[in-house]
Structure 1
Amino acid sequence: MSEASEFDLNLLPVVLAIAEERSVSRAAERLGWSQPKVSIALNKLRAALDDPLFIRSSHGMAPTPRALALMAPTREILDRIRNEVLAGAAFDPATTTRRFTFALSDIGEMTFLPKLLAYLQTHAPSATVRSVTLPPGDIAAGLEAGEIDLAVGYFPDLKARNFFQQRLFTHSFISLLNAKHPIRGKRISMEDFLRIGHAVISAEGRSQEVFEQLLAKHRIERRIVLSTPHFMSIPFIIASTDLLVTVPYAVGESFAKIANIRLIEPPLEIPQFDLKQHWHRKFHKDGANVWIRSVLVKLFAG
Structure 2
Amino acid sequence: MNFRQLDLNLLRVLCAIYRTGSVTEAGQQLALSQSATSNALARLRHCFGDALFVRSPSGLHPTRLAQRVAPLVADHLLHLEAALCEGESFEPASAGMHWRLSLSDLGEMMFLPALARELRRSSPGSRLSNEAVDAARVSAALEAREIDLAIGMLQADHQGVLGELLFREHYVALTARDWQPATPAIGRRLERSQLSRAALALAAPTASLLGSVQRVLERLDLGGANCVRLRHYGAVPELVRGTDLVAIVPQMFADAVAARHDLRVWQLPDGTSYDVMMVWHQSVNGDPAQRWLREQVRHLFGQGRVAANEPVDCASLG
- TM-score range relative to shorter protein: 0.5 to 0.7
Would you say the 8 A contact 1:193–1:222 is kept in 2? no
Would you say the 8 A contact 2:85–2:287 is kept in 1? no
Residue number in structure 1 paired with 2:33 = none
Would you say the 8 A contact 1:207–1:248 is kept in 2? no
Cα gap change, 1:161 to 1:118, in 2 (>3 Å): same
Q: Secondary structure at the match of 2:100?
A: strand
Shift of 1:218: 4.7
Cα gap change, 1:187 to 1:211, in 2 (>3 Å): same
Cα gap change, 1:4 to 1:111, in 2 (>3 Å): closer
2:195 aligned partner, one-letter code: F
- Of residues 256, 259, 266 in structure 2, which corresponds to 1:257? 259
Residue number in structure 2 paired with 1:279 = 280
Shift of 1:222: 5.4
- Provide the rounded CA distance (Å) in 2 between the counterparts of 1:253 and 1:125: 30
2:153 aligned partner, one-letter code: Y
Residue number in structure 1 paired with 2:196 = 194
Would you say the 8 A contact 2:100–2:149 is kept in 1? yes
Would you say the 8 A contact 1:133–1:204 is kept in 2? no
Encode CA deviations 1:145-165: one digit per residue, 9 max, x unaligned. 111000111111x12231111
Q: CA RMSD in A?
A: 2.3
Percent identical across equivalent pairs? 24
- Provide the rounded CA distance (Å) in 2 between the counterparts of 1:223 and 1:217: 12
2:281 aligned partner, one-letter code: H
2:143 aligned partner, one-letter code: E
Spell out the pairing of 1:75-154 with structure 2 (5 A cutoff).
Answer: 89-154=88-153
Shift of 1:289: 0.8
Cα gap change, 1:154 to 1:182, in 2 (>3 Å): closer
Task: Tell which deviates more after alignment, 85-94 or 278-287.
Answer: 85-94
Cα gap change, 1:177 to 1:222, in 2 (>3 Å): farther
Cα gap change, 1:4 to 1:181, in 2 (>3 Å): closer
Shift of 1:86: 6.4
Residue number in structure 2 paired with 1:25 = none
Any stretches of 5+ residues in structure 1 without a counterpart?
Answer: 7-84
Shift of 1:240: 0.9
- Provide the rounded CA distance (Å) in 2 between the counterparts of 1:182 and 1:215: 20
Would you say the 8 A contact 2:199–2:227 is kept in 1? yes
- Regions of 4+ moved over 6 Å: none
2:157 aligned partner, one-letter code: K
Spell out the pairing of 1:195-274 with structure 2 (5 A cutoff).
Answer: 195-204=197-206, 206-221=208-223, 223-266=225-268, 268-274=269-275
Residue number in structure 2 paired with 1:65 = none
- Provide the rounded CA distance (Å) in 2 between the counterparts of 1:258 and 1:284: 40
Which structure has the larger Rg? 1
- Provide the rounded CA distance (Å) in 2 between the counterparts of 1:87 and 1:162: 17
Any stretches of 5+ residues in structure 2 without a counterpart?
Answer: 6-83, 304-318
Would you say the 8 A contact 1:194–1:221 is kept in 2? no
- Provide the rounded CA distance (Å) in 1 between the counterparts of 2:226 and 2:85: 58
- Provide the rounded CA distance (Å) in 2 between the counterparts of 1:87 and 1:174: 44
Residue number in structure 1 paired with 2:158 = 160
Would you say the 8 A contact 1:211–1:270 is kept in 2? no
- Provide the rounded CA distance (Å) in 1 between the counterparts of 2:164 and 2:293: 13
- Provide the rounded CA distance (Å) in 1 between the counterparts of 2:85 and 2:159: 26
- Provide the rounded CA distance (Å) in 1 between the counterparts of 2:142 and 2:199: 40
Shift of 1:295: 0.8
- Provide the rounded CA distance (Å) in 1 between the counterparts of 2:3 and 2:164: 47
Question: What TM-score comes out, normalization by structure 1 length?
Answer: 0.67
Question: What TM-score comes out, normalization by structure 2 length?
Answer: 0.64
Task: Tell which deviates more after alignment, 97-106 or 219-228.
Answer: 219-228
Encode CA deviations 1:60-85: one digit per residue, 9 max, x unaligned. xxxxxxxxxxxxxxxxxxxxxxxxx5
- Provide the rounded CA distance (Å) in 2 between the counterparts of 1:273 and 1:292: 24
1:165 aligned partner, one-letter code: G
Would you say the 8 A contact 2:86–2:286 is kept in 1? no
